[in-house]
Amino acid sequence: MSGTKGHGARIVIPPPLLFAAGFLAGIWCRRFLPGDALPGLIAGGARPTGFILVAAGIGFSLWGILTFFRAKTTIVPHRAVSSLVDRGPYRVTRNPMYVGLATAYVGLALFQNRLWPFAFLPLVLALLVIAVIRPEERYLEERFGDDYRAYRRRVRRFI
């Protein structure tokens, strides 16, 4: 489909900043609240598992970004998109970049042996759905109509 003039979804906060804010809030809590280290049994395998999850999350996000670039559409949520992308990682999830960011977030918390960032992850994900994903979905439905509705029925929001 051809591009449209105007704006994309009405997004207030860039998703990477949302994840960073949640993680930093968890680090900030460490200064004032005890119990930031993971329990002993988990902590033993946390560093290598965390490394793998960070790498996998970044890789999955990059795959989503490259798929958008190949489709010649924007990755910036508030800009108008030129096409509905349903190939690559978008066959598995409608939000591979966000799934990748969440996976990297978990991996980084494990890698750093930090517990408090996990406390903020549900809030980050809730805000992501409310403030980012729902506006994106409304925009895509307005922009692509039945094509987007069919895509939404075929592919899950997350994995």
User: pLDDT tens for residues 12-57?
Assistant: 789 999 999 999 999 999 888 877 777 765 667 888 999 999 999 9
What domain range is 70 assigned to?
A: 53-154
What is the number of structural domains in the chain? 1
For residue 32, being part of any structural domain is answered with no
pLDDT band at 78 (very low <50, low <70, confident <90, very high): confident
Domain contains 31: no
37 located within any domain? no
- 40 part of a folded domain: no
Q: Say how far apart CA 101 and CA 116 lie, in whole Å.
A: 17
pLDDT at 115 over 80: yes
Alpha-carbon distance of 32 to 28, in angstroms, equals 7
3-state helix, strand, coil in the chain (%, to 5): 65, 5, 30
What per-residue confidence (pLDDT) applies to 42? 67
Q: How far apart are CA 17 and CA 120, in angstroms?
A: 14
Give pLDDT, residue 1. Answer: 37
Give me the helix-helix angle, 134-144 and 146-154, nearest 10°: 130
Residue 156, classed as helix, strand or coil, is strand
State the number of CA atoms in the 13 A half-sphere of 89 facing the CB.
24
Confidence of residue 2 (pLDDT cuts 50, 70, 90): very low
Give the residue carrying structure tokens 């729902």.
134
| Dist. CA 25–CA 12, nearest whole Å | 19
